[in-house]
Amino acid sequence: MNKLTTYTIKEIHKAYRDKLLTPTSFVDLCLQNAKQNRDLNAFVTLTEDVAENHGIESEKRFYIDKETKPLDGITVGMKDNFCTKNIRTTCASNMLLNFVPTYDATVYSRLRDAGACLIGKCNLDEFAMGAGTVDSIFGPTRNPWGYKACWRIAGGSSGGSAVAVSSGACVAAIGSDTGGSTRNPAALCGIVGLKPTYGLVSRYGLIPLVNSMDVPGIMTRKVDDAVNILNCVAGPDELDSTTIKKEFSPINLDNNFDMSKIKIGIPKEYHYPGMSEDIVDTWRLVTNLLENEQATVQTVSMPNTSVSIAVYSILNQCEVASNMARYDGIEYGLRTKEDYSTEELYASSRSEGFNQVVRSRIFAGNYFLLTRNYEKYFIKALKLRRMITDDFKKVFKEVDLLVTPTTLSDAPLLDEFVSKHNRDQCAFQDYCTQPANMAGIPAVSIPIRLSKNRMPLSIQLMGPNLSEELLLNVAKRLETLVDFPSLEVV
């Protein structure tokens, strides 16, 4: 991996100004990285021509018009569940294998308005259901920190986006986060993964998984870059009525951030029994680092955490059942050849189009939504979701932020993960991440150190709604303290 492709946005722009690098040559370097690392399978579609054109436009703005935009010449990847006009958007599913959107997702159009160059569409678990990026019709994405003889998972479901960034194919990538899908792969691939407050970033053009929890996530190598991207994409959008109406004021990080006034909570219920020793040690290490910085650290309790996996699964499956109803073989996506009756057309299109994970969530969701089960499961889960959210509200009266692990271990071996089935793993892997989605609060995962297997270990910070500035200031302070190594892939 060329050293230049590990630069931050600020360093890249400086190199452009000093003419040590140009947007077109940088785009080429990123494309080269992507092509040399094809076996990682980070991309569903590499948009070479598009990237080159975007690079030419940025170069003109940099050197001829002299009207530079904040992300000019900055390469990005988009998870392949964000619509991109005239560029195939598959959700890694047979159902949308040939789907070419006629419009752009707001996140993508804002990145483009800021001058970003699209390198490609990134691999994911089918319709973003998974925690490994092993359930894609394009095959699994592989973790660049692993070795060829024993590949490890990239995490998921935005594994392609995480690998694209960590292997130097782009400076930033957009993932989606419904239960942890941005933070989980960021954690396993050793990069920063930000899940903003629900509604801070528009979902328009993000193919929905769970509308009440989905949020576009930001993946970068450094916290500063995540802030730069967030500043370009956040804010109200009239095309998404769930965006927060208040104007977004761009975040400025404080390089001398004072930690002494910060109160940090360690929620004791996040000690999941199956958590690896490496992860628990990393959690302790971070707690000590924060105390050394004069932050106040205290144990807190969030009693409803234990039911949160079950609640998440029920609500997820109910919304999935309803969202997936649009794929009927008529309006969108794959249409079967078995069309001798309308029923046959629906049933065969859906069973040919969806994998087992998607089909079983649709079944379960429809079961929970039956009249006789609705109160017992769906309404009960909604009530418990409220109690989980209240746990956060209460705890944020005592402390400013929470620190927990992001994942339960470092990246599992790919073969073992697949044989244990992605669908069973999903639930456990998201133990620490999905509560933030149910409460809508912001959370960020940052890499801390390497495990005994020489794989990244990360920590998650969570804060109250719209506390991104505080969250990212603390994340940056931690990043400086730990100085996590950068990866050399080739």
Q: Is 438 in the site for ligand GLN (CB under 6 A)?
A: no
Site stretch for ligand GLN (CB under 6 A), options 35-43, 177-185, 273-281, 295-303: 177-185
Question: Has 60 been annotated as catalytic?
Answer: no
Q: Which of residues 327-386 bind ligand GLN (CB under 6 A)?
A: none
Nearest to 76 by CA among 103, 100, 109: 109
Put residue 250 in one of left, alpha, beta given phi > 0 → left and psi -120 to 50 → alpha: beta
Site stretch for ligand GLN (CB under 6 A), options 172-180, 257-265, 332-340, 448-456: 172-180
- Say which of 79, 121, 222, 476 is annotated catalytic: 79
Starting at the earlier edge strand, list the strands of the sheet with 401-405.
Answer: 43-46, 117-122, 75-79, 172-177, 215-220, 192-195, 443-450, 456-462, 401-405, 263-267, 296-300
Q: Is 177 in the site for ligand GLN (CB under 6 A)?
A: yes
Q: Which of residues 33-92 bind ligand GLN (CB under 6 A)?
A: none
Q: Is 209 in the site for ligand GLN (CB under 6 A)?
A: yes
What gap in Å lies between CA 155 and CA 132, rounded to an integer? Answer: 4
Q: Is 115 in the site for ligand GLN (CB under 6 A)?
A: no
Considering the complex, state which of residue 112 and residue 121 has its C-beta at the smaller distance from ligand GLN.
121
Query: Which single residue brings its beta carbon nearest to ligand GLN?
Result: 181
Q: Is 131 in the site for ligand GLN (CB under 6 A)?
A: yes
* Structure tokens belonging to residue 340: 């001798």
Site stretch for ligand GLN (CB under 6 A), options 146-154, 175-183, 245-253, 409-417: 175-183
Residue choice 75, 89, 90, 157 for contact with ligand GLN (CB under 6 A):
157
Site stretch for ligand GLN (CB under 6 A), options 9-17, 124-132, 162-170, 285-293: 124-132
Q: How far is the CB of 130 from ligand GLN (least distance, A)?
A: 5
Residue choice 75, 305, 316, 317 for contact with ligand GLN (CB under 6 A):
316
Question: Has 166 been annotated as catalytic?
Answer: no
Binding mask 395-434 for ligand GLN (x = CB under 6 A): -------------------------------x---x----
Task: Write the burial class of residue 469 (CB in 10 Å: 0-12 exposed, 13-18 middle, 19+ buried).
Answer: middle
Considering the complex, state which of residue 218 and residue 478 has its C-beta at the smaller distance from ligand GLN.
218
Q: How far is the CB of 435 from ligand GLN (least distance, A)?
A: 12
Q: Is 179 in the site for ligand GLN (CB under 6 A)?
A: yes
Residues 6+ positions from 277 with CB-CB distance below 8 Å: none
Q: Is 309 in the site for ligand GLN (CB under 6 A)?
A: no
Q: How far is the CB of 7 from ligand GLN (least distance, A)?
A: 29
Please compute, for residue 36, the number of CA atoms within 13 A of its CA located in the half-sphere on the CB side. 15
391 and 303 Cβ atoms separated by less than 8 Å = yes
Q: How far is the CB of 47 from ligand GLN (least distance, A)?
A: 23
- Say which of 93, 109, 157, 158 is annotated catalytic: 157
Residues 6+ positions from 185 with CB-CB distance below 8 Å: 133, 154, 155, 156, 157, 158, 159, 161, 162, 163, 175, 193, 219
Considering the complex, state which of residue 135 and residue 225 has its C-beta at the smaller distance from ligand GLN.
135
Question: Has 181 been annotated as catalytic?
Answer: yes
Q: Is 178 in the site for ligand GLN (CB under 6 A)?
A: yes
Residues serving a catalytic function are 79, 157, 181
Please report, as ranges, the residues that interact with ligand GLN according to CB under 6 A.
128-131, 157, 176-181, 209, 316, 426, 430
